């Protein structure tokens, strides 16, 4: 295809690219893999085993073979390559638009480690003596995360960030119960801009949840905390910096107030990207904290799991840690399951070993100075992007520019002028090949959008992202219908999200889909 007549680059041997990419996502209309199954089709013709058949007892014999898709190798490969082309992720997009998700690059070399047979072929029931290497990785990663957080011990068993938060709530509950105060301390305090998993986990564990709303500076109202704490307080569960990217300068006072009332203070450090090597949970007096290894320590997010969470606790809480724990006697590593006060298992076995290995490799590659550089770069990137975003007419950052690693912005001015909403701007941005996210509900910041560049992205990436939003904001003014009709260059046009709220229709598995929709 030749350039249009009159285009300035028509004469160059290699045409320069336009300012914004002429992106178009692949659209394969790919059926679900089960729909492509054909009876008898195989990827590998396995030879007959050549050993005698063994009679299995009925208790372990399946009545029917599993209904797995039957496909050839090419078709399996093609299916997953197509799906990967219909995706937007860090490996092909500028993924700064999933603020609070903390999308950073996961170095490919770490994937080499976990696909090595030494890791990939481990069995969770192997005797300790045969898995000393992986136990050493668990033990060493625990010590490194303890150093990073200032905590006494860290459990790597939780398989996700929310599982780590739940582990922390379970330990809070067990701690108060051990002191005879379990019944009385039935309230957990959290904040509007802390991750909603804190409120959700506390509620799941049976606690009444009290939420502190932001004050005029965008930080949780400390006077509200003063009014909320009391003999019923089990814990404060708080994120800092919150989803706004604002670091609460009075966090130590928050912790002290809760301690005075006999409660525990639990720090959601899922995303510690602005803090690594700068400040630590223990330094502010926290009793518990957690990290998401996939947000801060560069393991894959894994689309809802298995990811990996790490729960850190002070010495007083250590007896309650999930188990078994990995222990080291100076020469040998072993598992300790004999811990009477433990809250028990958060999942089977040790944890999500591939992610533990990746996080260990990532920290080892960076070292202490490198971790601090990660934080400094993330904060610098965020402040550069904020500088660019705030030059766009109609965009604002409520509560000012004092931000660490992310910002919750507002399109209120643009929306009032054009009738175009933040969600619609995000969908249009996908036409240029980037992610965009608004906010958790309810929207405190009107017409919100949350950007978090992390340390992974270059200045050119951030310039491109800002240029996309500037372009879409301009489109909203010139032709709001264009933005509202988006996307045009995506795999699907619109999805109907209503089934997500309807147990009669949601289908997390093919089996459920078959039962609910095809029977």
Partner 1 sequence: MTTDRPDPSRTAAGHPGSSRAAGGTGDPGRAARPGPPGGAAFTVGLIVNPVAGIGGPAGLKGSDGAGVQLEALARGASPRAGERAALAVRALLARRPDTRIVTVAGPMGEDSVRAAGGVPELLRLAPGDPSSPRDTTAAVEAMRDVDLLLFAGGDGTARDVLDGSPSCPVLGVPAGVKVYSGCFAVSPAAAGTTAAEFGRDAGRAGSTGSPTSTGGTGSTLAAEVVDLDEDAYRSGRVSPLLYGTLRVPAARARLSGRKVGSSAAAPGSAEAIAREVAARMRPGVRYVLGPGATTMAVGRLLGLDTTLLGVDVVQDGELVAADVTERRLLGLVEGHETCAVLSVIGGQGFVLGRGNQQIGPAVLKKIMASGGLLVLATQQKLAGLGGRPLLADTGDPEADALVAGHVSVITGHRESAVYRIRPATEEFTA
Residues that bind partner 1 (CB under 8 A): 192, 196, 199, 203, 207-216, 221, 223-228, 415-416, 418-419, 421-424, 426-427, 436-438, 440-444, 446, 480-481, 484, 494-495, 497-498, 500-501
DSSP letters for 75-99: HHHHHHHHHHHT---TTTS----ST
Inter-residue contact 449 to 438 (CB < 8 Å): yes
Sign of CA dihedral 67, 70, 76, 80: negative
- Indicate the residue among 351 and 394 with the shorter CB distance to partner 1: 394
**Minimum distance of partner 1 from residue 256's CB (angstroms):** 18
Q: 289 or 483, CB closer to partner 1?
A: 483
The least distance separating partner 1 from the CB of residue 20, rounded to whole angstroms, comes to: 20
Q: Which is nearer to partner 1, 13 or 304 (CB)?
A: 304
Indicate the DSSP class of residue 396.
Answer: B
Which residue stretches of 238-352 are H helix? 251-260, 293-296
Q: Of 227, 239, 240, 184, whose CA–CA distance to 207 is shortest?
A: 184
- Contacts of 111 by beta carbon, 8 Å cutoff, 6+ apart: 358
The pair of three-digit structure tokens given for residue 171, joined into one six-digit string: 């330990």
**Which residue, 93 or 148, has its beta carbon nearer to partner 1?**
93
Q: How far is the CB of 480 from partner 1 (least distance, A)?
A: 6
Closest separation in Å from C-beta 124 to partner 1: 32
8 A C-beta contact, residue 159 and residue 331: no
Q: State how far the Cα of 164 lies from the Cα of 198, in Å rounded to an integer.
A: 10
Alpha-carbon torsion (342, 344, 346, 349), positive or negative? positive
Phi, psi of 392 (to 5 degrees): -80, 130
The Cα angle at residue 312 between residues 310 and 316, in degrees rounded to 5: 150
- Nearest distance in Å: CB 444, partner 1: 4
CB 423 within 8 A of CB 348: no
Closest to partner 1 by CB, 103 vs 359, is 103
Name the minimum Å distance from CB 427 to partner 1.
5
CA 479 distance to own-chain centroid: 35
Q: Which is nearer to partner 1, 369 or 500 (CB)?
A: 500
Q: Residue 240 or residue 439: which is nearer to partner 1 going by CB? A: 439
The answer to whether the CB of 218 falls within 8 A of the CB of 244 is yes
Instruction: Compare residues 342 and 410 and give the one whose CB is closer to partner 1.
Output: 410
Q: How far is the CB of 487 from partner 1 (least distance, A)?
A: 9
The CB-of-63 to partner 1 minimum distance in angstroms stands at: 38
How would you label 60-97 residue by residue, b for 16+ Cβ within 10 Å and e otherwise? eeeeeeeeebebeeebeeebeebeeeeebebeebbbbb
């Amino acid at each position: 295809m030749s350039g249009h007549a009159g285009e300035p680059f028509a004469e160059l041997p290699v045409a320069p690219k336009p300012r914004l990419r002429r992106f178009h996502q692949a659209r394969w209309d790919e059926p679900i893999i089960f729909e492509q199954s054909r009876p008898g089709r195989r990827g590998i013709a396995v030879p007959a085993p050549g050993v005698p058949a063994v009679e299995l007892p009925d208790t372990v014999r399946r009545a029917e073979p599993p209904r797995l898709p039957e496909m050839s190798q090419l078709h399996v490969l093609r299916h997953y390559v197509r799906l990967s082309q219909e995706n937007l992720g860090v490996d092909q997009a500028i993924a700064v638009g999933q603020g609070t998700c903390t999308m950073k690059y996961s170095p490919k070399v770490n994937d080499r480690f976990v696909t090595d047979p030494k890791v990939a072929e481990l069995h969770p029931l192997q005797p300790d003596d045969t898995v000393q290497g992986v136990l050493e990785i668990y033990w060493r990663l625990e010590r490194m995360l303890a150093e990073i957080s200032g905590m006494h011990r860290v459990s790597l068993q939780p398989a996700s960030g929310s599982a780590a938060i739940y582990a922390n709530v379970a330990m809070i509950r067990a701690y108060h119960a051990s002191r005879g105060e379990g019944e009385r301390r039935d309230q957990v305090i959290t904040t509007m801009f802390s991750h909603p998993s804190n409120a959700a986990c506390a509620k799941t564990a049976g606690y009444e949840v009290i939420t502190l709303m932001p004050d005029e500076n965008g930080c949780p109202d400390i006077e509200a905390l003063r009014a909320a704490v009391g003999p019923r307080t089990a814990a404060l569960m708080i994120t800092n910096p919150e989803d706004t990217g604002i670091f609460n300068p009075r966090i130590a006072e928050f912790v002290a107030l809760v301690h005075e009332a006999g409660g525990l203070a639990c720090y959601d450090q899922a995303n510690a990207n602005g803090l690594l090597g700068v400040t630590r949970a223990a330094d502010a007096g926290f009793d518990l904290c957690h990290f998401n290894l996939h947000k801060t320590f560069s393991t894959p997010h894994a689309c809802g799991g298995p990811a990996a969470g790490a729960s850190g606790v002070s010495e007083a809480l250590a007896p309650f840690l999930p188990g078994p724990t990995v222990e080291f006697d100076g020469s040998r590593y072993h598992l300790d399951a004999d811990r009477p006060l433990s809250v028990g298992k958060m999942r089977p076995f040790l944890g999500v070993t591939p992610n533990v290995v990746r996080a260990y490799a990532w920290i080892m590659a960076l070292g202490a100075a490198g971790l601090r550089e990660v934080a400094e770069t993330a904060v610098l990137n965020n402040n550069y992007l904020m500088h660019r975003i705030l030059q766009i007419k109609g965009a604002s950052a409520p509560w000012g520019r004092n931000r660490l690693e992310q910002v919750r912005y507002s399109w209120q001015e643009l929306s009032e002028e054009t009738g175009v909403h933040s969600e619609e701007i995000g969908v249009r941005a996908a036409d240029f090949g980037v992610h965009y996210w608004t906010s958790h509900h309810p929207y405190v910041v009107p017409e919100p959008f949350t950007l978090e560049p992390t340390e992974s992205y270059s200045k050119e990436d951030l310039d491109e992202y800002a240029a996309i939003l500037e372009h879409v904001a301009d489109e909203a003014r010139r032709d709001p219908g264009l933005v509202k009709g988006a996307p045009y260059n995506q795999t699907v046009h619109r999805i109907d999200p209503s089934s997500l709220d309807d147990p009669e229709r949601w289908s997390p598995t093919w089996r459920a889909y078959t039962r609910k929709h095809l029977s």
